[in-house]
């Protein structure tokens, strides 16, 4: 088995933002390609999880994304880490998601 953190690159697509008061204004965003998390480009899903966990020590999580064939038109999603942590269980329950990461 290969270690995705050491080689296999994946395109990461933000398919939908799960609506909640903590992310008002972002819930309409969908089908965006993720460019970076707090300035670092994740190479795959495992790397993305690592960056999100690492970002939990910062005040904000900043996701830079773009639409297919519109790399020049960057979209920014910036979330307060403490607010997201407080809302996590509520959001998962409301949208019937078992876990934020599996």
User: How many structural domains is the chain composed of?
Assistant: 1
Token representation of residue 19: 């609506």
Question: Is residue 102 assigned to a domain?
Answer: no
Average pLDDT over residues 65-73: 90
Here the CATH number for the domain that contains residue 60 is 3.20.190.20
Average pLDDT over residues 64-83: 92
Predicted local confidence at residue 67, as pLDDT = 92
Question: Is residue 100 assigned to a domain?
Answer: no
Provide the whole-model pTM: 0.82
DSSP state, residue 66 = E
Tens digits of per-residue pLDDT, 5-59?
A: 556 899 999 999 999 999 999 989 999 999 999 999 999 999 999 998 887 788 9
**Where in the sequence is the domain holding 9, given as residue range(s)?**
4-94
Question: Is residue 101 assigned to a domain?
Answer: no
Distances (CA, A) of 50 to 27, 38, 60, 61, 83: 24, 12, 15, 13, 19
Predicted local confidence at residue 2, as pLDDT = 47
Question: Is residue 99 assigned to a domain?
Answer: no
Residue 76 has pLDDT above 70, yes or no: yes
CA–CA separation, 4 and 28 (whole Å) = 30
Question: Is residue 27 assigned to a domain?
Answer: yes
């Amino acid at each position: 088995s290969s270690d995705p953190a050491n080689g296999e690159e994946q395109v990461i697509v933000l398919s939908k933002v799960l609506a909640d008061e903590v992310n008002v204004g972002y819930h309409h965003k969908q089908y965006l390609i993720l460019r970076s998390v707090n300035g670092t480009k994740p190479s795959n899903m495992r790397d993305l999880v690592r960056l999100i966990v690492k970002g939990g020590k910062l005040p904000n999580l900043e996701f830079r994304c773009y639409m297919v064939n519109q790399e020049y038109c960057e979209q920014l999603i910036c979330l307060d880490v403490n607010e997201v942590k407080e809302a996590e269980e509520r959001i998962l329950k409301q949208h019937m998601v078992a876990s934020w990461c599996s």
